[in-house]
Every structure is written in C-alpha cells, then in structure tokens.
Amino acid sequence: MNPNFIDARIYRGIIGFSFNKGNLSLDVNNISYAQFDFEEVLKQDKQNLKALKGLTKACKMQCNYELGLKYALKVIMHEPKSPLGNFNAADCLKFLGQYNENTLQYINQAIDQEKRRYEQRISIYFRNKGKIIFYKGEILFGLNRVNEAREFVLKALEINQNYELAIKTLSIIYLDLGLERFDEILQRRTNK
C-alpha cells in the first residue's frame, strides 16, 4: 500500500467536488472523476474512511441513493458514531422512501453525536441551518408521527425562518392535522 498514492487520490477526489466558479451546477465529469479516484483508493485500502465518505457523497450527488447507502453503512460499520455517516444513511433512506425506525435511528445518532462533538446550538451543524432538525421532522412525518414532526419542523424554522421547504412541510402538516391554513402560517411568519 502506497500512502502517497492514497493521499493524492483522496485530494484529487475532494477537488473533484468543487463548484464551477460559484455556480450551483456541478460538473458531472468532476463527480465521475472523484468517484473513480475514491474507488482507486479503496482498491489499495478497503477501509479508508475518506474514500468511503467521498463515494457516499458522489453517489448522492448522482442520485444513486442505493449505492450511497451502501457506502454510508460501510462508514458506520468502521465508525459507528460518525455524524456524517449516520446523516448520509438517513438521507439516502429518506430519498429511497424508506421512512422507518432505522432511518429515525440514523438521524437521531447524527444529532446526538453532533451535540456531543460540538456542544453548541444545533443551528451550526450543516451549511443550511436547521436542516438536520428538519430532516428528522420529515422522517417523523413519513412515519405518520405528525405531532412529533410538527415540533421538529417548528424547531428548524426557529433556527432559520426562511427555510422554504420547512415552511411548505409545516403547511402540509397543519393541513393534515386540520389546524390552520397555509396563508395563516405565512401571516404568522411575517408578523415575527
């Protein structure tokens, strides 16, 4: 095993995820090259966590959630308390439509580990503040645990009041509960 080869491939794979001059669209070729580099690293070192995490991200970016889940579970197998591994597993399961207790367990593990790791407010976990809390609410809603889902979506909106997906989901939850109409939710939001 050549550590220089592994480090170079990891670095080149990570660079492959870079955005095109701030554009939100990713170069599909860069993702493919990154995926290739991470796969090459795994040929040398089957347990390389950076490569496994990189492959998980590459698969998710290509909407290949089944393969992304496979790599996320390998990350968890080697590092059970990995917040990113658990988050990615929950994220892939969510996109595969598998709203079950395992999905909830992964997102809970990610939240718990992030709380312990940073000991700060949950609002700083990921770039989109409140995203992880919102995901838990979305998973709970998928499990038809509507009241619990409402609580988590509201917490996500406390962190980031402009989180549009959370606002839309909250309106669906309220309609499902028969509590309020969407325009009333928006009215309440603008009055804050």
10-residue stretch averages of pLDDT, the chain, 192 residues long: 59 51 46 81 86 89 94 96 93 94 94 75 54 88 91 87 88 79 58 58
What is the structure's pLDDT at 24? 33
The whole-model pTM stands at: 0.61
What is the structure's pLDDT at 121? 52
Closest CA to 18 of 8, 9, 30: 30
Structure tokens at 23: 């554009």
How many degrees, rounded to 5, is the angle at CA 147 between CA 171 and CA 151?
Answer: 75
For 22, counting Cβ atoms within 10 Å of its Cβ (0-12 exposed, 13-18 middle, 19+ buried), the class is exposed
What is the structure's pLDDT at 4? 58
Element (H, E) at 85: helix 83-95
For 122, counting Cβ atoms within 10 Å of its Cβ (0-12 exposed, 13-18 middle, 19+ buried), the class is middle
